[in-house]
Amino acid sequence: MFSEITRQQFRRFRTIRRAWYSFWILLAAYVLSLGSEQIANDRPLLLGYEGRWYFPTLKFYSSETFAGRYRTEADYLALEKEPSFEQKGGWMIFPPIKASPLRSYLDQKGNPPHPPSAQHWLGTDDSARDVLARLLYGFRTSMSFALALALLGTLIGAIIGGVQGYIGGFFDLTAQRLIEIWSALPFLYVVILIGSIYGQTFTVLLLVFSLFQWIGLSYYMRGEFFRLKDQTFAQAARALGASHTRVLFRHILPNALNPIVTIFPFSLIGGISSLTALDFLGFGLPPPTPSWGEMLQQGLKYLYAPWLALASVLALFITLLLASFVGEGARAAFDPKATNTVR
Amino acid sequence: MNDQPAPLLQVSDLSIRFGELTAVDRISFQIGKGETVAVVGESGSGKSVTALALTRLLPPAPACQVTGQIQFRGQNLAALDDQGLRRIRGKEIAYIFQEPSASLNPVFTIGAQIAEAIRLHRPDVSDPAVEIIRVLDLVGIRDPEKRFRSYPHQLSGGMQQRAMIAMALVCQPAILVADEPTTALDVTIQAQIIDLLRELKAKLGMSILMITHNFGIVHGFADRVLVMFRGKIVEEGPTEQVLRHPRHPYTQALIGCIPRLGQKKQRLTTIDYSQIT
């Protein structure tokens, strides 16, 4: 599938240490965050009670299971302190961060936001929710959103730009003007409008964002296809009896992967920062979804509680920096003009 | 067989216009079964667009206007839809182009590209790998089992052109259109490719439409020669006759340009266009 040149480009990407390590750190962090429930939770990973084992992070157990009174989910933090629980041989192993992003810890001294303590390493926010847990879950949300957005945008952009470049002529010019009009739409208002009609869910936001995300890439793909469609191998494929769709996607597209690979990390950055910005303004994912933008806003609101702003700004800064390093490395590695230079 | 069998391909009154410019002006010619026809002419004489027009590979109207009739086995290709044409392209009329390194897709192996031709036109082949190795061997590529997995850039120009020929031949076309197949290659490889084409033609009995500006490779290869000049066929006839007794002043001038071995040191002949009408 990959040509020698592509493999060489991947090898070169690996030699750019900063990009290579950033890539792995980011990937590892994301994979870890996919299991956030096992890392930060107010439910125990493992619970032993009357000789049986329970896995509360994975499964729902009602309070009645542990001799409680209600059918609702057991409150494990309260249960842990229950003397009768311990008497019946109950024990629990909690995740490393013993806090859920949605739970309010109001049993502390003072008013929220609480400063960092042994229990809440990065303090709590204005609803007394654990900042570290929210940071972790927020990372997962941001990255998932940005990844899905970048994938969707790449798909749409590659298809539209590719078809434009391949057909060319009047179709291309018309499409180009329409895209210009489309890109002039005030994005924020569209998001607010559609969000208020259909609700600001993850999917709705993703779809609205992707309506605009593809435009940048489509310009590059259009240019690539313009160049490649007149190459002899495209004509040779036609002369062999391949259909237009086949030439477009099977023969030309694999030759036009450079802009896709180089722009992808930067779309990721764009996705994370736009979602954060939207959350900051209050038009993003609805509360109480853990989100970095919302935390930034709190940080601004409670300047006397610097852990809020510090935690969210640092997290955002590090993530964007790592993604930028990856993007920078990819751009250098996949630069077609650098193929023959000796590094 | 009749005394006068219908030609395999009959082109009549073919004109090709790009806007104001008339690239090809009402030309007619035919190719018989197993015949080798050479179209000779200088750059811009319309020979390559003629070849592409046969299966409508030129840009669509209004950029390019093609009129006239192209009868292939009694079917008018000029009136065929895209799907019908795709069944002709590659399967019946196959092409090889001037620049082999550009004609092969750089991201796929030689084997994968020949496999595509098989996939498109040869549903009868049950094991493509065997067939690919057979044609690679046929076009004289050594180590076909290994070359099968090579990318185009790993082959030399001559090998690339052989792979292109293999790709064209795997569908067993009735006509092979060779658009300056040797121009991008150096002289010794040129001779090898021409020999290969001659040999394959004898073996497979296909017709060849050879497009070239080089009279040198026409001799001993083509049965018939068409000389094109400014979009018109100015002379047509059996190769020997045209080469020995060119009638049109352009043909005479073109043949006069061929440098000969043992020629006295002198300026190479060029064509004085003011003498040709």
- Residues of chain B with Cβ-Cβ distance to A169 below 8 Å are 63
| pLDDT at residue number B27 | 92
Quick one: pLDDT at residue A283? 87
Given a contact cutoff of 8 angstroms between Cβ atoms, the answer to whether A2 and A8 are in contact is no
* pLDDT of amino acid B149: 87
Pairwise CB contact (< 8 Å): A242 & B120: yes
pLDDT at residue B25 tops 70: yes
pLDDT reported for residue A339: 53
Find out whether B97 and B179 touch, Cβ atoms under 8 Å: yes
% of chain B surpassing 70 pLDDT: 97
Compute the distance between CA of residue A248 and CA of residue A82 in angstroms, rounded to an integer. Answer: 67
Average pLDDT on B80-107 reads: 89
**Banded pLDDT at B4 (limits 50, 70, 90):** low
Q: How many CB pairs under 8 A join A and B?
A: 73
- Whether B84 and chain A come into contact, CB under 8 Å, resolves to no
- Segment A125-142 shows an average pLDDT of 92
Strands B207-212 and B36-40: parallel
pLDDT value for B1: 41
- Using alpha carbons, list the distances in angstroms from residue A101 to A54, A111, A244, B214: 22, 18, 52, 79
pTM recorded for the entire structure:
0.82
Between strands B65-72 and B21-31, the pairing is unpaired
Chain A residues touching residue B108 (CB < 8 angstroms): 3, 254
Is residue B95 within 8 A of residue B177, CB to CB? The reply is yes
Starting at the edge strand found earlier in the chain, the sheet holding A91-93 runs A52-54, A46-49, A91-93
**Chain centre to alpha carbon of residue A82:** 40
What is the spatial distance between Cα A292 and Cα A225, in angstroms, rounded to a whole number? 39
Higher-confidence residue of A130 and B44: namely A130
Interface of chain A toward chain B, CB-CB under 8 angstroms? 1-6, 169, 231-233, 235-244, 251, 254-255
Per-residue pLDDT at A26 exceeds 70: yes
Residue B165 CA to residue B177 CA, distance in Å, equals: 10
Q: How many residues does chain A have?
A: 343
For the segment B241-245, the average pLDDT, to the nearest whole number, is 89
Q: What per-residue confidence (pLDDT) applies to A132?
A: 93
* CA distance linking residue A22 with residue A17, whole number of Å: 8
The set of residues, in sequence order, having a beta carbon less than 8 Å from that of A278 and lying 6+ positions away, is A188, A191, A205, A284, A293
Nearest CA in chain A to B52: A239
Indicate the Cα dihedral angle B126, B129, B134, B135, nearest 10°: 100
Q: pLDDT per residue over A329-342, tens digit each? A: 988 888 766 554 44
Distance of CA A336 to the CA centre of its chain: 29
Write out chain B residues lying below 8 Å of A240, CB-based: 89-90, 94-95, 116-117, 120, 167
Q: Would you list the DSSP string of B79-98?
A: G--HHHHHHHBTTTEEEE-S
What DSSP character marks residue B231?
T
Are B184 and B100 in contact by the 8 Å Cβ rule? The answer is: yes
pLDDT band for position B59 (50/70/90)?
Answer: confident
pLDDT over 70 at B60, yes or no: yes
Distance of CA A54 to the CA centre of its chain: 31
**Rounded mean pLDDT of B198-221?**
88
Chain B hits for A1, Cβ within 8 Å: 107
CB of B94 less than 8 A from some CB of A: yes
When scoring A3, A10, A233 by the number of chain B Cβ atoms within 10 A, the one with the most, hence best to mutate, is A233
- Average pLDDT of B92-118? 89
pLDDT at B5: 66
Q: Residues of A with CB below 8 A from B151's CB?
A: 3-4
- The CA-to-CA distance between both ends of chain A, in Å, stands at 26
Residue B20 has pLDDT above 50, yes or no: yes
- Mean pLDDT score, B184-197: 86
Q: What ipTM was estimated for this complex?
A: 0.83
Does B89 lie at the interface with A, CB-CB under 8 angstroms? yes
Peptide bond into A113 cis (omega under 30): yes
Query: What pLDDT digit, counting tens, does each position of A249-287 carry?
Result: 989 998 888 889 889 999 999 999 999 999 998 888 888
A153, A283 Cβ separation under 8 angstroms: no
**Cα B264 to Cα B271: distance, rounded to the nearest angstrom:** 19
Nearest CA-CA distance, residue B104 and chain A, Å: 5
**Mean pLDDT, residues A71-87:** 84
Residue in A closest to B56 by C-alpha: A239
Shortest Cα distance, chain A CAs vs residue B154, angstroms: 9
CB atoms within 10 A of CB A105: 19
Identify the band that residue B254 occupies on the pLDDT scale cut at 50, 70 and 90: confident
